[in-house]
Amino acid sequence: MELPFNAAHTERYSLISLIRTLEHVADPVPLLIDLASRLAPGGRIVIQVPTYTMNPFDLAIADHLSHFTAQSLADLAARCGLTVVLGPEELVRKELTLVLAVDSSGLPRAERAPKAVSTGSVFDFSSSVHFLATWLNLVDTFAEAREAPMVFGSSISASWIISALGREGTTASLLFDDDPNRIGGQFRGIPIRSPESQSLPAQRVLVPLVPSIATTVAARLGERGLHCAYVR
């Protein structure tokens, strides 16, 4: 990523914000090292990125070139000579927030040995890919049966499922969302309704969320008489 600075640029900053930025950078290390050098004494860098461990469908977004867990984000900061002031925490749902300052160790950055990727991060990634593959198999069973399911959600995961259904010439019949700003609208031409609507169709509902959340949502929809399918 090219920064709008040149060699003559000497201004220092008390706060640098990277909200929803690093996931679009193929190699975030040079960027963070450069930005760290532009912090004023006591300055902070605030990072917020999506985490695929809470939303594996994020791995399918074409312009997300880097993906993070809490551990890999902290490892990245250390590799760039930065120390964690706050986080990584899920202050925003499905997002990791991290506040960083320049490391006070005084070691030249060239002497800092890069940390190995933790086994936890590797396991999270492998599990997430397996989760997506299992979802694809589940959606294929609906598509092959020409069944047009309803889908809980109207964003990344819903778009992925609609595309997967479309390979066999079918689509979702209805989308559910709790967001009042989305209810009553459409997503990819499919109407969005509240799951609390008075009259609901009889089709099954796909709940493309991680199991811990999908179980809760499925139980809630089950109370409305809806039959749900999700990856456990």
Rounded Cα distance, 82 and 44, in Å:
10
Question: According to the model, what pLDDT value does residue 178 have?
Answer: 92
Count of structural domains, the chain? 2
Same domain, 205 and 224: yes
Residue ending a domain, choose from 58, 85, 117 = 117
Rounded Cα distance, 115 and 214, in Å:
34
Question: According to the model, what pLDDT value does residue 1 have?
Answer: 55
Question: Domain holding 69: CATH number?
Answer: 3.40.50.150
Q: Establish if 8 belongs to a structural domain.
A: no
Instruction: Find the mean pLDDT for residues 146-152.
Output: 93
SS3 call for 85: strand
Q: Establish if 27 belongs to a structural domain.
A: yes
Give pTM, 2 decimals: 0.76
Percent of the chain topping pLDDT 90: 53
User: Would you say 153 and 115 are in contact if contact means Cβ atoms under 8 Å apart?
Assistant: no
Q: Which two tokens stand for residue 44?
A: 């902070």
Instruction: Find the mean pLDDT for residues 148-177.
Output: 92
Question: Domain holding 140: CATH number?
Answer: 3.40.50.20
pLDDT digits (tens, 9 = 90+) for 24-81: 999 999 999 999 999 999 999 999 999 888 889 999 888 999 998 888 888 999 889 8
User: Would you say 38 and 12 are in contact if contact means Cβ atoms under 8 Å apart?
Assistant: yes
Give me the residues paired with residue 44 across strands.
15
Question: According to the model, what pLDDT value does residue 204 have?
Answer: 92
Cis check for the bond before 30: say yes or no (omega within 30 of 0).
no
Q: In this structure, are strands 82-89 and 95-102 parallel, antiparallel, or unpaired?
A: antiparallel
Q: Establish if 162 belongs to a structural domain.
A: yes
End-to-end Cα, the chain, rounded Å:
39
User: Would you say 178 and 203 are in contact if contact means Cβ atoms under 8 Å apart?
Assistant: no
For residue 110, is pLDDT > 70?
A: no
Q: Which two tokens stand for residue 9?
A: 């640029």
Which domain does 93 fall in, by range? Answer: 13-117
Residue ending a domain, choose from 47, 82, 117 = 117
Instruction: Find the mean pLDDT for residues 105-129.
Output: 54
